[in-house]
Amino acid sequence: MAAPMENATKGTRLSGSSTSFQKKSRSKLIQIPGTKPSVHTGQLIVSSGVPSLDCALGGGLAVGSLLLIEEDEFDSYSHALLQYFLAEGVMSGHELFVASAQDHPDDIIKDLPSPLQDEDPDLKNASSSSPGQQDAMKIAWRYQNLPKFQSVLSSSSRFGHYYDLSKHMEQDLLQHAKIHTFYLPEEQPASTHLSGVLGPYSVLLHSIQSLIRQNGFDGSNSQVKTCNVLRLALHSLGSGLWGDDVCVSPAHNHALSTFLYVLRGLLRSSLSVAMVTVPTHLIRNKLLRGRLIRLSDTAIALQSFSAADRNNSLYKDYHGLLHVIQVPRLNCLGCEVPDTKDLAFRLKRKQFTIERMYLPPDLSDSVSRGKQHLSHWSSFCLTASSEWSRSSRAGS
Amino acid sequence: MFVELNSILNTSPDDVTQREFILLSDRKADASFLIHHYLSFYLKAGCKVCFVGLVQSLSHYSAVAQRLGVNLVQAREKGQLVFVEALKASAAVMLDQTGGDVAQMSDYLRSPVPELRALFEFVRASLSQAEAEADSNSPPVLIVDDLSVLLSLGVSVRAVLDFTHYCQATICSQLQGSVVTLVRCDDDDDDDEDESSSHLLRALSHQCTLSLRVEGLRTGYCRDIHDQVEIWWRGTGENVQSQRKIFQYKVYDKSVSFFAPGTSSAVL
């Protein structure tokens, strides 16, 4: 939360081109590509690379904050989110820092999704279909003023890019990006006595700190006058490959929580934003998960449906549920509250989207529905024998 | 400072004489708005405040305080506010080992058996100094946001309780001041772990004179009612019976509105 964020314009609404209002002071401000002041708090925010996720988190990720992603069971969707985050950094010209203990960071970067040229197909369809809706409703006139049904979360102003997961980003785009990598097996083990408190993360913390300091993201280095945002992507912290034993023993271990706390302190005093994924379902100590969430600013959890769950007809349109566990309250009393917390994600052929979850309409014909009701009723009925109800359900 | 909360608690910044040990806590909710309330409340009352900010940066607190009509930077320059930037210091302490007061105070980050002795010494020194100057009658106040972070950093519940006990003895009894602390619970109530924040909360509830517990709504998420707060007063003197009231609330940009359960404007 360095000084530039405080004098960022407050409450400028950039929705559409219909308004001619423009704040005079805008031109004086430092403009960093890929950032904008938040509509609600005036905080400088960046896109996470998934516009629907930005929307669910109240506009985007605040610079200086930490996003914790609780990985899904097989780390496939959280890995995709990490790549979106990095790809958005490449497209916005931000500096990147990728740390991993499992996949080599170069491999993660090689597989970044390619940006879509014809941006946002959904929005285009929506705008082209809206003029046709002008004809007034005659019978169900009460529904006239209701907003148009839209399950995909999207904001009116465009922020962030859309990506095609099926293609990889072109080499020349990647070559222009400033990318720093950290691959644990290639690093020198920590020699300082501090490794006792931070455990396996002390090397990582040192390299992040020296990067921030040398490249002037905290404004301390007066020779380097970079005005850019640093995106930190830390993959699968807490897993066994990092040399952490939180997944193995239920004993109290403070290395990961201390690391997150100190990282938060670093982020707060610099122009950087971090995305951390943690396999929380593997952590043995049940107190630790809540603490990690409290120590990060934004926390989301991905819950992918296993093959068994996808047979459930309720969820057949989605690939998993997205839980927004914590939304930050930065520089303001309250936070932007969403109207629903029932969010689901879906990985379409090319892109990852987050939608409000709706139950699918029951399109089965009324006869079978009547029977279903009967069978439900009978199972609740105390006098009916269980055998009878089972046979009637088999018949329906 | 929220006027509605003042009228519920029957306090006002013009008349702060009680020695109180106020415990703020939350579970599946966010009670940080109460910290902002008390910070602006005591600054408006003219008390000397020592604020230990363990979770957020100074700019965050001052941005919120600005909305509540208090200027933290001015208060700090006047010497009315002593702000301990513990979060900012943590990075410096962990990585550089540079000297200085704040680094020394944060020895809980480094030592193998973390203690809060240095932090307490600093708090006592900064608040008793105010007492020595004694140009005003207003009592000194300590605000800690929040204690449960210390547990994540490896400080034991016992060490935290020692710290609060010393603070209560020094500030509430000796200096006739007040202490406000926040404890955030992230575990289930029935967890019987030794080092859990629920354990800390139970121990502090036993100590406190006024407790404000913020809890998530049992009926689930709602856009118009944020959460509910249970206010508990310890009985004193003749009426030993403690009092308990529950309110629901909604946080706005600059204020918070409290209402009796079920009487939100969205419901009625």
Q: Mean pLDDT check: name the lowest of A156-170, B18-32, B227-241.
A: A156-170
Asked if residue B267 has pLDDT above 60, the reply is: yes
Residue B160 forms contact with A (CB below 8 Å): no
What is the per-residue pLDDT across A325-337, written as a single tens digit (0 to 9) for each? 988 888 888 777 7
Alpha-carbon distance of A45 to A13, in angstroms, equals: 14
> What is the 8-class DSSP label of residue A35?
E
Alpha-carbon distance of A111 to B66, in angstroms, equals: 46
Is-contact A236 A184, C-beta < 8 A?
no
Alpha-carbon distance values, A358 to A325, A351, B34, B82 (Å) = 20, 20, 36, 51
Cβ contacts (< 8 Å) between A334 and chain B: which residues?
A: 33, 226, 251-253
Give the residue, B24 or B195, on which the prediction is more confident.
B24
Contact A197 B87 (CB under 8 A): no
| Selection from A71, A58, A88, A82 nearest residue A328 by Cα | A58
Is-contact B160 B200, C-beta < 8 A?
yes
| Domains in chain B, CATH or no CATH each | 3-186+193-259 (3.40.50.300)
* H or E element, residue A322: strand A320-326
**Residue B71 is which amino acid?**
N
Residue A192 confidence class, pLDDT cut points 50, 70, 90: low
Two structure tokens written together for B162: 């020692």
What is the per-residue pLDDT across A118-141, written as a single tens digit (0 to 9) for each? 554 554 444 444 444 456 667 777
pLDDT of residue B114: 81
Two structure tokens written together for B236: 């004193």
| Selection from A7, A3, A6 nearest residue A28 by Cα | A7
Would you say the pTM of this structure is higher than 0.90?
no
Two structure tokens written together for A396: 């329906």
Cβ contacts (< 8 Å) between B90 and chain A: which residues?
A: 261-262, 265
Two structure tokens written together for A43: 């905080």
Contact B87 A332 (CB under 8 A): no
Mean pLDDT over A4-33 rounds to 50
Alpha-carbon distance of B86 to B105, in angstroms, equals: 9
Residue B90 forms contact with A (CB below 8 Å): yes
What is the per-residue pLDDT across B94-151, written as a single tens digit (0 to 9) for each? 776 565 666 677 778 877 778 899 999 999 998 887 666 655 567 899 999 989 999 9
User: Percent helix, strand and coil across chain A, each rounded to 5?
Assistant: 35, 20, 45
pLDDT of residue A195: 56
pLDDT of residue B123: 92
Asked if residue A237 has pLDDT above 60, the reply is: yes
Q: Name the residue facing B60 among A266, A293, A331 (closest C-beta).
A: A331
**Residue B190 is which amino acid?**
D
A202-214 vs A255-268: helix crossing angle, rounded to 10: 10
Alpha-carbon distance of A339 to A362, in angstroms, equals: 25
pLDDT of residue A29: 52
Contact B223 A290 (CB under 8 A): no
Phi first, then psi, for residue B145 (nearest 5°) are: -125, 110
